Amino acid sequence: MDSLKKHGFEVHYKPGLSREELLSIVENYNILVFRGRLKIDRGVIDRGANLKVLARYGIGLDNVDVEHAVKRGIAVVNAPSASAISVAELTIALMLTVYRRLYDFIHSVKCGEWSKGKHLGRELHGKKLGVIGFGRIGSRVAYYAKAFGMDIMVYDIRDVSEEVSKLGGVQVDLERLLSGADVVTLHVPLTPLTWHMINDKTLSMMRDGTVLVNTSRGEVIDTDALLKHVDRLGGVALDVLEQEPPKDEKIWRLVKHPNVVVTPHIGAETVEAMDRIADELVKNILEAVNWL
């Protein structure tokens, strides 16, 4: 906000704005900066008669009707690279949490139990990591995982074999990745192609004991299918859910399952990432305004 003010913008800060409140005031604004909670759909866009720029404070644009905005001549910008480090670090942390049973140990000690010897953890070293989506975050996760001594397999709809080979990894098809990986981690945007890409069919390709990690979008995984397979998996770590915050009974069943660790969509929730997002977004807003 300070950066925008320095560039001459009049900034109104309205945290916790409801959809109804947004609809009642959006016509007064040229630029709308928002995060992932609000759906910037056709209704919002059409009501915003004076909108020139939609600015997503973060990476994903799945809560924005980008096509309709562009048809209306509205620029859509985000900060696609700013939170990659934070999300990648969380992904590795979730892998370690599952493999070393950290949640169980920490919880038991806080409850007064000295649980040394109760569980045996496992090492990441020597395990096969399957990275689905080799963009900014997925490639960084692979880089970090290589430092842990993991073997890297990658699936992506693009040819990224050259980049993957630099890490000593290999690009494979989805079935080979799912059937061969000890850990599968998801780093894809939410699109019609990726919606429920982890479903009963693809989960059936995973061996018993495979660990599944998702720090991308909750809707990439079919919750019903995951509940069917969760007991035979080696662990599930989720920073995202199909419904956030969880309300449906089936979502709560997944959250409370002893084989599942859940964090509340905190992939980009670091001081450093917030600063980088702000800087990148201001730059992109200024470019969009100048272009218009």
Both tokens assigned to 178: 């799912």
Distance CA 78, CA 56 (A): 5
**b vs e for 265-284, b when ≥16 Cβ sit within 10 Å of the residue's Cβ?**
bebbebeebbebbbebbbeb
Q: Are residues 184 and 210 in the same domain?
A: yes
Q: Are residues 227 and 242 in the same domain?
A: yes
CA-based nearest residue to 57, from 26, 80, 27? 80
- Out of 219, 244, 253, 257, the active site residue is 244
| Residue 12: active-site member | no
One pLDDT digit (tens) per residue for the chain, 292 residues: 999 999 999 999 999 899 999 999 999 999 999 998 889 999 999 999 999 999 999 888 889 999 999 999 999 999 988 999 999 999 999 999 999 999 999 999 999 999 898 889 999 999 999 999 999 999 999 999 999 999 999 999 999 999 999 999 999 999 999 999 999 999 999 999 999 999 999 999 999 999 999 999 999 999 999 999 999 999 999 999 999 999 999 999 999 999 999 999 999 999 999 999 999 999 999 999 987 6
Q: Are residues 171 and 116 in the same domain?
A: yes
Distance CA 285, CA 268 (A): 20
Range of the domain at 11: 2-81+270-291
Q: Are residues 67 and 93 in the same domain?
A: no
- Out of 217, 242, 276, 280, the active site residue is 217
Q: Are residues 251 and 112 in the same domain?
A: yes
191: how many CB neighbours lie within 10 A of its CB?
A: 12
Please state whether the predicted TM-score (pTM) of the whole model is above 0.85: yes
Q: Are residues 8 and 40 in the same domain?
A: yes
- Out of 122, 163, 265, 269, the active site residue is 265
Number of domains in the chain: 2
> Tokens 């419904």 map to which residue?
243
Q: Are residues 12 and 75 in the same domain?
A: yes
| Residue 265: active-site member | yes
Instruction: Write the CATH number for 11.
Output: 3.40.50.720
| Residue 89: active-site member | no
Q: Are residues 75 and 107 in the same domain?
A: no
CA-based nearest residue to 17, from 8, 29, 6, 5? 29
